[in-house]
């Protein structure tokens, strides 16, 4: 089942400190206020991210979830991956290798657990990449 709502891919800036996180949050706030927002944050450019940046990501996820939407992360740079790992927040997000994979994942209706039973080898490969 395809959803008709758009998936918005937003590229996160290179530095995600307190100041930049606030600016970015102001940019994405209108997107978060939609009904059931479907957002993908592309973190491929991120070189510096601190606790404020992580808080901002969590805040966005919370806001999206509050409106029955979802926020997914894609193309994480090694720097972002390490910071999400050490702050234990990486496990809270769905993380994909590319933005396209993340956007495609919104189109599925079935929950992941159910989808595992119907997955093809190609999807398995995708899942492997997602975990990596």
Partner 1 sequence: MGLGVHKGANQSAHVVTLSGYSLRGIRALVLVGGRDRAERFGESPLALLDVLGRSVLMRTLDRLRAAGIGEIAVLSDTGLPPHPATVSCKFDVASPESLWEEALHRFRRLARRSESVLVIRLGAWAEVDYAAMVDEHRQSGAAVMRACSRWGEALDIFAVSSINQSEAAALLRGELRDNRLRSAVHITNGYVNMLTEPACLRSLTLDAFACESEIRPCGRELRPGVWVGKSARIHRRARIVAPAFIGNYCNVHSAAVITRGSSIEHHSVVDCATMVDNSNVMPHTRVGAGLDVEYSVVGFKQVYSMQRNVTVEISDPRLVGTVGSHLSARVHAAGSLLFNQLPSALLQWIFADDFTPETTQTETLKAVGVSKNALSESSIAPIDSQTKSYTEMAATRRYGNE
Q: Does 62 bind partner 1 (CB under 8 A)?
A: yes
Q: Tokens 């994405």 identify what position?
A: 28
Q: Does 56 bind partner 1 (CB under 8 A)?
A: no
Distance, first Cα to last Cα, the chain: 28
Token couple for 109: 């209706």
Token couple for 124: 């398995």
Binding-site member from 27, 33, 85, 124 for partner 1 (CB under 8 A)? 85
SS3 of 118, please? helix
Token couple for 47: 């070189």
Binding residues among 15-54 for partner 1 as defined by CB under 8 A: 17, 36, 48, 50-52
* Interface positions with partner 1 (CB under 8 A): 17, 36, 48, 50-52, 62, 65-66, 68-70, 78-79, 81-83, 85-88, 94, 105-106, 108-113, 115
């Amino acid at each position: 089942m395809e959803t008709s709502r758009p998936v918005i891919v937003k590229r996160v800036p290179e530095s995600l400190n307190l100041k930049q996180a606030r600016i970015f949050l102001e940019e994405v706030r209108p997107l978060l206020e939609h009904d059931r927002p479907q957002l993908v944050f592309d973190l491929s450019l991120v070189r510096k991210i601190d606790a404020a940046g992580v808080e901002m990501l969590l805040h966005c996820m919370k806001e999206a979830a509050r409106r029955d939407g979802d926020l997914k992360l894609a193309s994480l740079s090694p720097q972002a991956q390490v910071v999400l790992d050490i702050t234990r927040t990486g496990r809270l997000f769905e993380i994909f290798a590319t933005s396209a994979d993340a956007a495609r994942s919104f189109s599925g209706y079935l929950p992941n657990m159910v989808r595992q039973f119907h997955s093809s080898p190609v999807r398995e490969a995708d899942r492997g990449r997602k975990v990596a």
